[in-house]
């Protein structure tokens, strides 16, 4: 939905700036009129080139939630707290969103309702938790737990990204080195071996790869681009994505890490929502929409039907294969003891530590594997160049 920046005047003449999402400029005008604001200017916000920065920083959002919780506990009214966060200079995009939240709350709207107008900033999980806190009268506790929840997600994502930095750098360096070898170094040997009647198969392979890079580089790059687009379009089909996910989940090294990440996300999300008073079925539906894993979505859907029928949650989750036996047993006991929210949070913390170990072990395997692949390619090039030299020497 388009985003518009506006400047308006309140009934008291106060100048108000903010951003609103709307289908058209007319829709934004009607929204401002409903808030009893007189628009001064409305401009469409150009978001081109903002693909990688569309969402505010997750850590900044988590910090904002914690700050609101601290302010509410100190007796600062919600409207004043939102205005304070809206006046920050360090996070201009997030500050603009909080200014809009403050304006909505000042007009008598619920905070959760205003947050729904910014889906690019506030996921459904956050909105549902805030709505439950407002209705239950414990918004400060919800904000504190929400801040911990978002920060936990940010730390887990940071661990995964940080662990993959070195392998990605190593892979990029390997691609550059091999491109130079095949595009510059190998072609210099072609005239030398042109008179040989029969080249070894490995030499033909090396010179063929070199021709694709040195002689037909743009065409090769274009063909690879077309293949990549075709593969990407195939992976957009649900059954293809599911088959690929099943295949990755069953791999010896990658599989345990994927399963652990999915289980940790689900347990933290569901446990946080249940702990904030959201009903089980509603929390399950929100967790399904935000699962980010097709297999987990299917497992949550089956578990939702089981809970609706009065059956335990642990059964369908066990059938998914994404949860370990110890986790399933803890969930089963927690359902009986009626402390599922606390146990799920504990499980997510346990799985996080397990993810740390799995990441460390995976990186230890990925780095030598990449080096081994590069070494094998270099060895193949060396063999492809040395073997014809031995034939030339024998001919002399």
Q: At what angle do helices 340-395 and 325-337 cross, to 10 degrees?
A: 170
Residue 23: what pLDDT?
59
Euclidean distance between CA atoms 33 and 341, whole angstroms: 43
- Count other C-beta atoms under 10 Å from residue 363's C-beta: 15
Q: From the centroid of its chain, how far is CA 57?
A: 12
Q: b/e string for 38-63 if b means 16 or more Cβ within 10 A?
A: ebeebeeeeeeeeeeeeebeeebbbb
Point out the residues of the chain with pLDDT beneath 70: 1-3, 21-26, 44-55, 391-396
Sheet holding 3-9, edge to edge: 15-21, 3-9, 38-44
In DSSP terms, 21 is beta-bridged to: 3
Residue 18: what pLDDT?
78
Residue 44: what pLDDT?
63
Residue 235: what pLDDT?
81
Residue 2: what pLDDT?
60
Euclidean distance between CA atoms 66 and 342, whole angstroms: 20
SS3 label, residue 313:
coil
In this structure, whether the domain defined by 3-46+55-147 belongs to CATH 1.10.10.10 is answered with: no
Residue 53: what pLDDT?
44
pTM of the model: 0.63
Residue 71: what pLDDT?
92
* Structure tokens given for 241: 């994505």
Output the CA–CA distances (angstroms, integers) from residue 112 to 82, 164, 338, 341, in the order listed.
13, 36, 28, 22
Residues of the chain with CATH 1.20.81.30: 3-46+55-147
Residue 138: what pLDDT?
81
């Amino acid at each position: 939905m388009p985003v518009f920046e506006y400047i308006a005047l309140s009934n008291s003449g106060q100048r108000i700036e903010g951003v609103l999402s709307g289908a058209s400029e007319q829709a934004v005008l009607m929204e401002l009129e409903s808030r009893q604001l007189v628009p001064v200017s409305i401009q469409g916000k150009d978001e081109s080139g903002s693909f990688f920065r569309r969402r505010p920083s997750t850590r900044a959002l988590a910090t904002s939630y914690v700050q609101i919780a601290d302010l509410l506990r100190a007796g600062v009214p919600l409207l004043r707290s939102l205005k304070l966060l809206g006046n920050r200079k360090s996070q201009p995009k997030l500050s603009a969103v909080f200014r809009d939240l403050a304006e909505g709350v000042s007009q008598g709207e619920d905070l959760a309702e205003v947050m729904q107008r910014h889906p690019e900033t506030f996921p459904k999980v956050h909105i549902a938790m805030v709505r439950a806190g407002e209705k239950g009268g414990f918004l400060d506790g919800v904000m504190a737990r929400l801040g911990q929840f978002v920060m936990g997600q940010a730390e887990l994502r940071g661990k995964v990204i940080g662990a993959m930095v070195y392998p990605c750098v190593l892979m990029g360096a390997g691609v550059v080195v091999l491109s130079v070898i095949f595009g510059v170094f190998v072609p210099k040997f072609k005239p030398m071996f042109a008179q040989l009647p029969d080249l070894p198969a490995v030499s033909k392979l090396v010179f063929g790869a070199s021709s694709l890079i040195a002689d037909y580089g743009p065409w090769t790059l274009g063909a690879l681009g077309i293949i990549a687009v075709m593969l990407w379009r195939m992976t957009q089909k649900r059954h293809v994505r599911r088959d690929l996910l099943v295949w990755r989940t069953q791999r010896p090294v990658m599989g345990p890490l994927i399963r652990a990440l999915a289980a940790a996300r689900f347990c933290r999300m569901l446990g946080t929502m249940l702990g904030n008073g959201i009903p089980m079925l509603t929390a399950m539906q929100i967790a399904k929409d935000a699962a980010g894993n097709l297999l987990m979505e299917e497992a949550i859907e089956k578990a939702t039907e089981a809970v609706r029928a009065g059956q335990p949650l642990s059964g369908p989750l066990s059938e998914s294969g994404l949860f370990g036996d110890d986790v399933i047993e803890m969930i089963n006991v927690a359902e009986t003891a009626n402390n599922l929210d606390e146990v799920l949070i504990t499980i997510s913390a346990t799985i996080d530590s397990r993810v740390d170990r799995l990441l460390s072990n995976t990186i230890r395997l990925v780095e030598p594997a990449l080096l081994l692949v590069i070494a094998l390619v270099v060895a193949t090039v060396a063999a492809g160049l040395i073997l014809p030299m031995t034939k030339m020497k024998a001919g002399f």
